[in-house]
Amino acid sequence: MLTRIDHIGIACENLDATVEFYRATYGFEVFHTEVNEEQGVREAMLKINDTSDGGASYLQLLEPTRADSAVGKWLAKNGEGVHHIAFGTADVDGDSEAVRDKGVRVLYDAPRTGSMGSRITFLHPKDCHGVLTELVTAAPHEGTAGPASSSPSTTEH
């Protein structure tokens, strides 16, 4: 089922300043950046390390591009900080169904596209002890498995 921590999503007010903090403080470099218009975020993925399953672990820094996005609303309510944790899996479809069968609400009916072509879904934080949880199947990349992106609304389904 789950093979690794794919990434930890961190909501921030200023992506460039937050990237610079992680670069200057810990030496982490940006691996990938993109804007996800559907989710209303601008993001930077900072690669922490490679993993034994061919994937990697990342910090995902998320800056909302609009106040009404899920990350924008979360940031307005909670301030900067950890937004979600994402676990890597070889089969996001199968694993999301298995979790759903155990009574956990899965926020998307079908997985969506995340960063770098990954497939993602989210689990409701009220069913995960207050933690917004993402499941990620990385897109195949030459020699590297990629991270996920985006953040959903946490409206109940």
Q: Catalytic residue positions?
A: 7, 43, 60, 84, 134
* String of DSSP letters for 44-90: EEEEEEE-TTS-EEEEEEEEESSTTSHHHHHHHHH-SEEEEEEEEES
Q: What is the dihedral of CA 110, 119, 13, 76, to 10 degrees?
A: 20
Query: What is the rounded CA–CA span in Å between residue 19 and residue 119?
Result: 24
Place of tokens 């061919």: 54
